[in-house]
Structure 1
Amino acid sequence: MYNLVIRGHDLSNISTPEHLAQQTKSVGIHNLQFALGASFPQLDSSSNALNPGMGTYFKNLFAKHDIQIALLSCYSNLIHPDPIKREEILHKFETYLRDAHFFGASMVASETGSVLPNLGYSEDNFSDTVFADLVKVIERLVKTGERHRTLVGIEAGLNHPLSSIERTKQLLEAVDSDYLGIILDPTNLITIETHESIVDIVEEAFQQYGSKICAFHLKDFMIKDGKIVPTSLGKGLINYPAILKIIQQYKPYCYIVLEQTKDEDIRVAKELIAKL
């Protein structure tokens, strides 16, 4: 009933693509959110290196183990302030969109970034000017996604220009395309003051733009030293039974990524969900 996904880099000490496939299967998961550079930093995953043969290799290898790449990650600072660096980043994303189908992936995923090169916090991220700049960037990427029939999956976060349900809705109104999807991570939208409202945030997001939600990040959290700190599912405060019920109501079989749930904790999380 739940279409669970793990990030490949949430499995530790992975040495080869074959090893990643084996370990994914061993924890009982059949879908990956695959970040080439995070899982295999020694492999060149730049726009110059990406190619159909690489995609087909990973697709066929994972298929032998009954695993598919659900999301292809290309998390980058899409609004990098240096125009030369930004162009490199956007070109790489467009290359991933071009070749995603060779990997067997239906979408390429990223957050929006920051006006600071190091992705740090800045009040400027929340300005209308920066948001308008973001809209132009997403329009460009979505046009590429339309050409290659690959979804652009965008994730919101408190410190980014796409910082709320309201801003996300504005983006969707500004960029009207079947190839723009939203990856909903409610833990990215809470503070220590609002964390108890996380179920309400999920409900509101589905009511406001549920048809555009293409994947969900289920990321448990603790509060430590006045901060939201991610943890494995079932070890924190997130009301995952209520959230999973909402997902099932609005988006049956939606990809649910167990983000930050690692190694043997993946098997535990899967068992907790199976009991619901």
Structure 2
Amino acid sequence: MIIGGRAHDFGKLPVAQLAAKVSKQGYSYIQLALSKAIYGIDCSLGKLSPGLGNYIRDSFKKENVQIAVLGCYINGIHPDIQKRRADIDRFKEHIRFARDFGCSIVGTETGTLKVDGLSDYDNESESAFETLIESLKEITCEAEKFGVIVGIEGGKNEVVSTPQRMRRVLDLIPSNNLQVIYDPTNYISILNFKDQNDLIKDAFNLFGDRMVVLHAKDFVVCNDKINIVAAGMGNLNYELILKQLKKRKPFINILLEDIKEVDMDRSIKFIEQLYNRV
């Protein structure tokens, strides 16, 4: 099993301190969102360079930790065109220097129109979807130039709200440089949680061959709401998920997320033990 996590789940720390803390936890791989995880270095647009990438990569390498995903969370459908433009430019910069961080994947969520109090905007609209495709085509074109993978992660509150919409994205952008970061919990809502097995099967049938990373967290239902908990501490059918991964994507990176440090050991053991049984 190749289990890791998100670096910013340890807080925002200086590079050396963060790398040591991640290694002590037992992670061999991380998803590193520079602006969320690293303290003391300005990683804003225009500041990345091969030297900075090498420094951060080597700091983690000294602790035997590899950067599996360079996280660059952008909103590809932001209703403010200037903010959307800045996000796209920042993502393209991450693509250009990803290899210097020892990484081949730059990851993002797919975005939402419901920002800055604009709650009436419809993520399910065709115009929102078309805006996403326009943004993804641009960043995927950049990724093709630099031999880097764009990893996109959908979810129920985003423009790519279902496995079917994810499949549609992949069909409209037929590039092998566009792949999927799959988080099963992201698609779970109070309306469909009882049908989670079908959702999981749909995801693997529709884009199982395009998954490059699994994000691992869990959910419980409380007071008619979905609450996020650490992997193995809720109701997500991990047995079904791990069976599919074992068959379709052996040795894929499984990255824990939305998890407190106190729960990390327990979640790691849960996934490792279940994976060995299925």
Normalising by structure 1, we get a TM-score of 0.93
Paired position in structure 1 for 2:51: 53
Paired position in structure 2 for 1:32: 30
Q: Measure, in 2, the Cα distance between the counterparts of 1:122 and 1:33.
A: 32
The alignment partner of 1:5 has SS state of strand
Deviations along 1:15-72, one digit per CA (max 9) or x if unpaired, are 3211211121112110000011111255322121111111101111111111100000
Contact 2:112 2:159 in 1 (8 A): yes
The alignment partner of 1:126 has SS state of coil
Note the residue ranges of structure 2 that are not aligned, 5 or more in a row. none
Query: Is structure 2 residue 106 aligned with structure 1 residue 82?
Result: no
Q: CA RMSD in A?
A: 1.7
Query: Is structure 2 residue 30 aligned with structure 1 residue 10?
Result: no
Q: Measure, in 2, the Cα distance between the counterparts of 1:181 and 1:205.
A: 13
The alignment partner of 2:214 has SS state of strand
Q: Measure, in 2, the Cα distance between the counterparts of 1:107 and 1:58.
A: 16
Q: 1:265 is matched by which residue type in structure 2?
A: D
Q: Give, in angstroms, the shift of residue 157 of structure 1.
A: 1.1
Q: Give, in angstroms, the shift of residue 123 of structure 1.
A: 5.3
Q: Measure, in 2, the Cα distance between the counterparts of 1:84 and 1:123.
A: 18
Which among 61, 64, 67 is matched to residue 66 of structure 1?
64
Alignment of 1:90-129 (within 5 A): 90-118=88-116, 122=120, 124-129=122-127
Paired position in structure 1 for 2:247: 249
The alignment partner of 1:124 has SS state of coil
Q: Measure, in 2, the Cα distance between the counterparts of 1:163 and 1:263.
A: 29
Which among 199, 214, 221 is matched to residue 216 of structure 1?
214
Q: Measure, in 2, the Cα distance between the counterparts of 1:241 and 1:264.
A: 23
Closer, same or farther: CA 147–32 of 1 in aligned 2, 3 Å: same
Contact 1:114 1:122 in 2 (8 A): no
Q: Measure, in 1, the Cα distance between the counterparts of 2:118 and 2:198.
A: 27
Paired position in structure 1 for 2:191: 193
Normalising by structure 2, we get a TM-score of 0.93
Q: Give, in angstroms, the shift of residue 171 of structure 1.
A: 0.6
Q: Measure, in 1, the Cα distance between the counterparts of 2:55 and 2:197.
A: 40
Q: 1:21 is matched by which residue type in structure 2?
A: A
Paired position in structure 1 for 2:177: 179
Contact 1:77 1:117 in 2 (8 A): no
Contact 1:4 1:29 in 2 (8 A): yes
Alignment of 1:225-236 (within 5 A): 225-236=223-234
Q: Measure, in 2, the Cα distance between the counterparts of 1:102 and 1:122.
A: 41
Which among 143, 152, 155 is matched to residue 153 of structure 2?
155
Deviations along 1:92-119, one digit per CA (max 9) or x if unpaired, are 0000000011011111111111123348
Note the residue ranges of structure 1 that are not aligned, 5 or more in a row. none
Q: Measure, in 2, the Cα distance between the counterparts of 1:104 and 1:20.
A: 17
Identity of aligned residues (%): 33
Q: 2:75 is matched by which residue type in structure 1?
A: N
Contact 2:180 2:212 in 1 (8 A): yes
Q: 1:172 is matched by which residue type in structure 2?
A: L
Contact 2:15 2:39 in 1 (8 A): no
Contact 2:13 2:39 in 1 (8 A): no
